Amino acid sequence: MTLLPAKTLNISERGQIKEGYFADIVVLDPAAISSTATYESPLSYPTGIDYVILNGQIVVSYGKHTGKLCGKVLKLYSPLA
């Protein structure tokens, strides 16, 4: 799901679960996914997402945010932009 976009955009060390690569993984229960956000509380977390791993760091564990902020903005040069 992420290998083709990573290759297309020439982003190295992403798109595969492989030693030395940046791991971005979501473990979820498709039957339990549900948004809890409302207009009054738009930033509430959804249900059904058990784990989120960004850059090899667990940021959601047992459905709860761990407080880690290890995401990274990827800036790419695009001749079309």
Tell whether 48 is covered by a domain.
yes
Stated as kind and residue range, the H or E segment containing 58 is strand 57-61
Is the pTM higher than 0.75? no
Tell whether 43 is covered by a domain.
yes
Tell whether 4 is covered by a domain.
no
Whether residue 34 contacts residue 48, with contact meaning beta carbons closer than 8 Å, is answered with: yes
Tell whether 8 is covered by a domain.
no
Domain range for 34: 21-70
pLDDT tens profile 24-33: 899 999 999 9
Q: Give the mean model confidence (pLDDT) for residues 20-24.
A: 85
Tell whether 51 is covered by a domain.
yes
Stated as kind and residue range, the H or E segment containing 6 is helix 3-8
Instruction: Report how far apart, in Å, the C-alpha atoms of 74 and of each of 6, 49, 60, 69 are.
Output: 11, 24, 21, 15
Tell whether 39 is covered by a domain.
yes
- List of E strands, the chain: 25-28, 49-54, 57-61, 64-65
Look at the chain and report how many structural domains it folds into. Answer: 1
pLDDT tens profile 48-66: 999 999 888 999 999 999 9
